Copies of this chain bind each other. A is one copy, B any other.
Amino acid sequence: MSTADDTSGEDGPWGEVTPEAARRLLVAAVDAFAERGYHATTTRDIAGRAGMSPAALYIHYKTKEELLHRISKIGHERALHVLEAEADRDGTAAERLAGAVRSFVRWHAERHTTARVVQYELGALGDEHRTEIVALRRRSDAVVRRIIGEGVRNGEFDVPDVAGTTLAVLSLCIDVARWFDAQGSRTPDEVGDLYADLVQRMVKVRADGSAGPR
């Protein structure tokens, strides 16, 4: 019944959500929001998808918005974690940028149902929750901007507009969630490799991989 990105088990993005009933409801909410949109979904729909009663849902979530907030928070935290892990590796700025793009793309391809909900329903969050999520998005932005900035400073990259290029790189990766089709011709890894190459071109990495003069 619960199929959000086929990752409803403890190893999926919702593994931190306990007890199991709360996790099952979250997965059901992702599927329902993705299918009909947040505003067209009722807590009754979500409970039904999870094979539970509306009363059982209220034990875990007081409102529909609380479910969306939980989904959005975990989704953003996981995506940020993926970026930070690559940014903190050893290696040149070019290698770390390629790694960050590869992982961020893979996340948005594999978790495309979750990512769509997370990206398209931001407007439905309450003010306080939206502020919290915007702060997480700024942190993702800062990770990519930092890598690009380092590459510019050490001469690896030639980028006139670091903020704009950061925006474009993140946008390119995030939009994978919109068009990615698990039945399509490209795997998440293949899209990740393609995009890592395209982003290296956007920042004009030197062909020999060396750092040049500033």
Q: Which residues between 104 and 139 of chain A lie within 8 Å of chain B, taking CB atoms? A: 119-120
Does any Cβ of B come within 8 Å of A11's Cβ? no
Distance between Cα atoms of A8 and B204 in the complex (Å): 42
Given contacts A120-B120, A174-B175, contact A168 B198 (CB under 8 A): yes
Specify which chain B residues have a CB less than 8 angstroms from the CB of A164 in the assembled complex.
Answer: 186, 191, 194
Does any Cβ of B come within 8 Å of A153's Cβ? no
Distance between Cα atoms of A39 and B179 in the complex (Å): 20
Does any Cβ of B come within 8 Å of A202's Cβ? yes
Chain B nearest Cβ from A147, distance in angstroms:
16
Chain B nearest Cβ from A94, distance in angstroms:
14
Chain B nearest Cβ from A189, distance in angstroms:
13
Specify which chain B residues have a CB less than 8 angstroms from the CB of A54 in the assembled complex.
Answer: none
Does any Cβ of B come within 8 Å of A61's Cβ? no
Specify which chain B residues have a CB less than 8 angstroms from the CB of A194 in the assembled complex.
Answer: 161, 164-165, 168
Chain B nearest Cβ from A142, distance in angstroms:
16
Let me know if A175 and B171 touch, CB within 8 A.
yes
Specify which chain B residues have a CB less than 8 angstroms from the CB of A197 in the assembled complex.
Answer: 160
Name the contact of A167 in the complex, choosing from B168, B179, B204 (C-beta under 8 A): B179
Q: Which residues between 10 and 50 of chain A lie within 8 Å of chain B, taking CB atoms? A: 36-40
Find the B residue at minimum CB distance from A33.
Answer: B37
Specify which chain B residues have a CB less than 8 angstroms from the CB of A36 in the assembled complex.
Answer: 37, 39-40
Find the B residue at minimum CB distance from A36.
Answer: B39
Specify which chain B residues have a CB less than 8 angstroms from the CB of A81 in the assembled complex.
Answer: none
> 13 A-B contacts, Cβ less than 8 Å apart?
A36-B37, A36-B39, A36-B40, A38-B40, A160-B197, A161-B194, A165-B194, A165-B198, A167-B179, A168-B195, A168-B198, A198-B202, A201-B202
A171-B175, A171-B179, A175-B178 are known contacts; what are 12 more A-B pairs with Cβ within 8 Å?
Answer: A37-B38, A38-B40, A120-B178, A164-B194, A165-B194, A165-B198, A168-B198, A171-B178, A174-B178, A175-B175, A198-B202, A202-B202
